[in-house]
Structures are given as structure tokens and as C-alpha cells.
Structure 1
Amino acid sequence: MPSVLITGASKGIGRATAAEFAARGYRVIATARDPRALEGLDVAQRLRLDVTDQATVDEAVAAAGEVDVLVSNAGVIFLAAVEASPVAEIERLFAQNTSGAIRVAQAVLPQMRARKSGRLLFVSSVVGRVVFSGNAAYAASKWALEALAEALAIETGPFGIHTTLLQPGTVSSGALDDPLIYRLPDDPYTALATDSLDRSGSLTSEQVARAVADAAELDAPPLRLPVGDVAAALLAARKAAPENVPFVLGS
């Protein structure tokens, strides 16, 4: 029975992913900063893991035993224009969304290298490749994650380890229902510092969970997998857009 360790499994995409893998017969190790939030999940283990705390990462990985698949899902978000974004809050996003994701990957890689097999699945975002106004800090943390994951794919591929970045568009997971927003006094960016993605085509957490589990079962998974039609269209348009043209003010 293959095993999967999931970070940020207390709610939203992480919780749905834990349920999806369990339904497929995996040995699921669900983790969260507060394991009490994992009650009700029918999984093999419920462990404390804070991706920003090395000690809890080491303890959880040791308790988990053999990990065949890592689903790196834990993340946070806030909305603000770049000028209005507190640097300490930008650092908090990077600590969890970027450094935290890599910290957990580093913890499971030694055993995967020793077995010459393993899957690293990072829940990124369409904004890991596309930037929208008011969402720059979150996007930057995902762009950085994508660079590190791409390097991991190159470095660990010879050891039989597959790395995949899942890139959903907006997800009705609750993260954007009442997001933290920062504004300047007499804010000149009021019209911009909002989430610019069209939520009419939002995915459910369960749809993303199925995509994550499907990716774990691909024989030759790609480095990047858009999740949903909106994400696929946005990423295709971004790839096709010329980069050697002047930026149009207000575009």
C-alpha cells in the first residue's frame, strides 16, 4: 500500500486530498499545525507538522515512516498592492508557501533517494506563472516555489523521483472568502488591490484533490499540470504573449 504525506490537511484542498487518497487505498498521513483539526478524517495517521518549524517537520516525517508521495499543500495568502504590502507579511508568505514547502521536501528526500523512487507534488497556482494586481506577494511566493521545484526535478530525477507542480485557478476552498487585505491611507490602489481572478469558474477542493491524486498515479508525470479549464487557458495565453513589447499603462 503506497503512503502519502499531506501538509495543510486540516481544511480546503488539503483535507479533500487526504480523503481522496484514502478512498483510493493509500496509507494517508495527514498533517496540520494543530492535529485536532484533522479529526473526522479516516486516515492512517494524524500528525502535528508546522512547515515553518523544522523540529515538527522532522518529528512528523520520522513518525510517518516510509513516504512514497509528498503532497505539499500548506499555504497562506493576503491581498494588497505591492506598495501596501508589509515586508514582514511578504516574508511570512515566503516562509510558509516557499521555504516551508521545500523544508518538508528536504525531510523526505533522503529516504526517496535511498529507494530510488518517490513523488513530490506541490500545490502551486496559476499565479505561479501569471501575476494579477493585488496578489503580487502570493504570486511571488509561488513563482519562487516553481523555480525551486523545477530545480528539484532536475536534481532528483536521476534518483527516480518525480516532481510535479499542480496549478489550479481560483478554488472555492474558503481561503478567499474573507482574505486579509492591506491598504494604504487614502489608498490610491483601491481599484487594484483585489483578487483579479474571475471566480465564476472556481474549482472545488474535491476537483483539485482528484487532480493531485491522478498526478500521483501517472507513469511519466509532467513538471507542470494546470488544473481546470480556466487555468489551462490563462497559462496558454501567458505563454503565447510576447515579452519584448512595452508595458501599457493600466493594462
Structure 2
Amino acid sequence: MSKATIQPKNILITGANSGLGKATAIFLAQQGHHVFAAMRNTKGSNASAVDELLTLKHNHQLQLDIIDMNVTEQESVDAAVQQILKASHIDVLINNVGIMNVGITEAYDVEELKELFDINVFSMARTTQAVLPHMRERKQGLLIHISSLAGRVVFPFFGSYCASKFAFEALAETYHYELKKFGIDSIIVEPGPHRTKLIDTTPKPKGNTSVLTDYQDHIELSENILNTFKNFQEKNDASDPNGVAEAISNLIESNGKRPLRTVVGTDFGVREINETLEPLQKKFMQGLHLDDMI
């Protein structure tokens, strides 16, 4: 879709320092949208990402602004959103931040699970709650939540990550129903394996590692599965992050009813799961006389 045919939107995207977030921020800015690329440590660990984005902005005359935001701190989230609202409005929020724990599930202690859920689930609630009063007042808005196939299927050794993504999708889908009356759409994007640093930065268990002596054969198996995903990402054309960025762009520009869930790339059967469950969920809602929320 060319710049000439789009309706420019003000878009806030979290986790724009790398991976899908960075690719999407660049793609949407190149499409003519005004993108607020949010990330933490803009003057520290993410300074190089900031420099790269600002160079692209100046070289290609993009509407691309960097916003310092730590999604695990409510004060930081609120300040970042207010910074944008003082100058403009927010049409679209893209909740993209996430980490992926891969390893023996029992070896991650409760504190590590809390940290995972804080980043993958509670951060989405923080940013969403920060923008919703503004969107409700304007009676319009779009929330796009970047999930994963792991929000619909379970992979051994990805247990804590899957749990966080199942919770993430439950919140996102509930927003979809409850916010409809305000003209706000909440939808989910479920990427398959893509070429990002998510696998390379997976936190290994630290808190309950004494159990690992009982899991020796499983440890090697988990590493093999991780390497399988890495090889798939490197060799499969469908794992280009720009595919996710383009899908998000199309959802933003959609003039009709957007699907609740959009799978991008290799799906491991998730499209079939979604197609099977959608009418069952609709029937359930109708049984509760909630037809106006569907």
C-alpha cells in the first residue's frame, strides 16, 4: 500500500528497539504513519537502536519519534503516554514487548515467573490502561497485541512462555468484547517463528536449578528443539519480520471488520485452531445474550 492511499495514523509501539517491534516501527513510518517508537534505556543499552532509527528518520524524512518508556514501571508508561498526548493523539497502540523463557519449566522459580509475566502480561495491561481513557474520550482507537503461536498451543520447555501468552491473549480478547461499545478495536497478531533475537536472548532458569540433575536427558532435548527453531528461522523466507509488519499495516488500514486473530507465517496448526474455536466462542457469547459484543 502506497503512502498516497493510506490515512496516516499516530501509532505508539512498544519494544521498538529490536526484532518485530523495530521492523514494524520502520515499516509503518515508511508507509506515512507517525510512529512513536517506545523503548527503555534510550541513552544506555538501546542508544545504538535510537541512532539507527533517527538516521532512517532524517535520511527518509519519516515521522518517527523515539519515546523512552519502561513498560514494567507504571510511572514511566504514564509519563510516556502523556508526553505524546500533550502534542497529539494516539490512534493505535501496538503492544509488542516480550521475552521468551525456554528450558525446564520446573527450574524457573516463582520470582522468575513473576518477572516473565510482568514483562509479557502486566506491561500490556499498563500500556493499554494508560491509553484507554484517551481513546474512550475520542470514541475510537485500535489496540494491536503481538502474541505468538504459543498463545494457542503448548510446546514442551516453553511452558512458562506459553502460560504468559495464553494470559496475554485472554486479556486482549476480553478487551475486544468490552471495548466495542466505545468504538475501540482490540485484536491479536500471532506470528510464527521469525528472524529476531527473541530466541538468542531467552532467559535460562536460575532460581530452581537444583532440579536439573533429574532432567539431564530433557535438557539436551530442549536445546535441540531450540536449535530447530533457530534453523527454521534462518532458512525460511516466511520468517522475515517484515511479513509481520506488513500484516499489521494491513490491519491498521482495514476499512472493514478486522479479524480478532491474525496468524502470520508458519502456523503449526494454529489457523485451524482459531477457525474451530471462533464459532464456539460466538455461540457461547450468544448463549449469554452478549450478541452486541461479538
Q: TM-score, normalised by structure 1?
A: 0.88
Q: Aligned ranges for residues 91-110 of structure 1 at < 5 Å?
A: 91-110=114-133
1:69: which partner in 2? 92
CA distance in 2, matches of 1:187, 1:23: 51
Q: CA deviation at 1:173?
A: 0.6
2:242: which partner in 1? 206
1:186: which partner in 2? 213
Distance 1:203 1:187, change over 3 A: farther
Q: CA deviation at 1:180?
A: 2.7
1:6: which partner in 2? 13
CA distance in 2, matches of 1:186, 1:114: 56
Contact 1:128–1:143 at 8 Å: present in 2 too? yes
Candidates 9, 14, 26, aligned match of 1:19 = 26
1:54: which partner in 2? 74
Identity %: 35
Query: What is the one-letter code of the residue matched to 1:186?
Result: T
3-state DSSP class of the match of 1:137?
helix
Is 1:39 the counterpart of 2:51? The answer is yes
Distance 1:39 1:67, change over 3 A: same
1:120: which partner in 2? 143
Contact 1:45–1:64 at 8 Å: present in 2 too? no
Query: What is the one-letter code of the residue matched to 1:18?
Result: A
Contact 1:69–1:121 at 8 Å: present in 2 too? yes
CA distance in 2, matches of 1:24, 1:237: 31
Contact 2:103–2:222 at 8 Å: present in 1 too? yes
CA distance in 2, matches of 1:81, 1:17: 32
> Which stretch of structure 1 is more off in the superposition, 181-190 or 157-166?
181-190
Q: CA RMSD in A?
A: 2.0
Larger radius of gyration: 2
Query: What is the one-letter code of the residue matched to 1:46?
Result: I
Query: What is the one-letter code of the residue matched to 2:149?
Result: V
Q: Aligned ranges for residues 128-207 of structure 1 at < 5 Å?
A: 128-177=151-200, 179-182=202-205, 184-188=211-215, 189-194=218-223, 195=225, 198=229, 199-200=231-232, 201=236, 203-207=239-243
Candidates 234, 249, 262, aligned match of 1:225 = 262
CA distance in 2, matches of 1:185, 1:155: 43
2:282: which partner in 1? none
> Which stretch of structure 1 is more off in the superposition, 163-172 or 215-224?
215-224
**Structure having the larger proportion of residues in helix:** 2
CA distance in 1, matches of 2:64, 2:35: 5
> Which stretch of structure 1 is more off in the superposition, 215-224 or 171-180?
171-180
3-state DSSP class of the match of 2:133?
helix
CA distance in 2, matches of 1:112, 1:193: 43
CA distance in 1, matches of 2:213, 2:150: 28
> Which stretch of structure 1 is more off in the superposition, 73-82 or 24-33?
73-82
- Unaligned runs of at least 5 residues, structure 1: 242-251
3-state DSSP class of the match of 1:79?
coil
Contact 1:30–1:38 at 8 Å: present in 2 too? no
Contact 1:5–1:29 at 8 Å: present in 2 too? yes
Q: CA deviation at 1:185?
A: 3.4
Q: CA deviation at 1:187?
A: 4.3
Query: What is the one-letter code of the residue matched to 1:68?
Result: D
Q: CA deviation at 1:115?
A: 1.0
Contact 2:145–2:189 at 8 Å: present in 1 too? yes
Distance 1:204 1:106, change over 3 A: same
3-state DSSP class of the match of 1:145?
helix
3-state DSSP class of the match of 1:185?
helix
CA distance in 1, matches of 2:135, 2:249: 19
Residue deviations 1:146-182, cap 9 Å, x none?
Answer: 0001110111011111111100111111211353333
- Unaligned runs of at least 5 residues, structure 2: 1-7, 58-62, 278-294
Query: What is the one-letter code of the residue matched to 1:39?
Result: D
Q: TM-score, normalised by structure 2?
A: 0.76
